Amino acid sequence: MDKTILTASDVWTNLSEEVQSLISKQTFATWFEPIRAVGLDEKSLTLEVPSKFYYEWIDRHYREVLLSKLKTATGKDLKVRYSVVVGEEADNGESVKEPKMFTDQRRDASQYYDNGSRLNRRYTFDSFVEGSNNQLAKAASVSVADSPGQTSFNPLVIYGGVGLGKTHLLQAIGNKVLQRSPTPRVHYTTSEKFTIDFISAIQNNNSSSFSERHRNVESLLVDDIQFFQKKEQTQEQFFHTFNDLYQRGKQVVLTTDRHPSELYGLKDRLLSRFQSGLIVDIQAPNLETRIAILQKKAEEDKLEIPYEITELIATNIRGNIREMEGALIKLLAYSSLSHSDITMPLAKRALRETLGRSGTKTVSIDDVIQSVSEAMDVPEKKLIGRGRKMEVAGARQVAMYLSREIVGTSLENIGMHFGGRDHSTVIHACRAVKEKMKEKSDLRRRVDGIRSQLEF
pLDDT value at residue 362: 64
DSSP letter assigned to residue 224: -
pLDDT digits (tens, 9 = 90+) for 203-231: 888 888 888 888 888 889 999 888 888 88
What percent of the chain is predicted at pLDDT more than 90? 12
Fill in the DSSP letter of residue 342. Answer: -
Residue-range domains of the chain with CATH: 8-107 (3.30.300.180), 114-282 (3.40.50.300), 287-355 (1.10.8.60), 365-455 (1.10.1750.10)
User: Which residues make beta-bridge pairs with 99?
Assistant: 85
- Each residue's pLDDT tens digit, 359-389: 445 678 888 898 898 888 888 888 888 888 8
pLDDT at 432: 92
Extract the residue ranges of the chain whose pLDDT is less than 70: 1-5, 24-27, 51-54, 84-117, 182-184, 301-302, 319, 336-339, 353-362, 455-456
- Half-sphere exposure of 352 toward its Cβ, with a 13 Å CA cutoff? 12
Q: What is the pTM of this model?
A: 0.57
Burial class (CB in 10 A: 0-12, 13-18, 19+), 138: buried
The whole-number pLDDT of residue 91 equals 41
pLDDT in the model for residue 371:
87
Burial state string for 332-351 with b = 16 or more CB within 10 A and e = fewer than 16: bbbbbeeeeebeeebbbebb
Rounded Cα distance between 305 and 329, Å, is 11
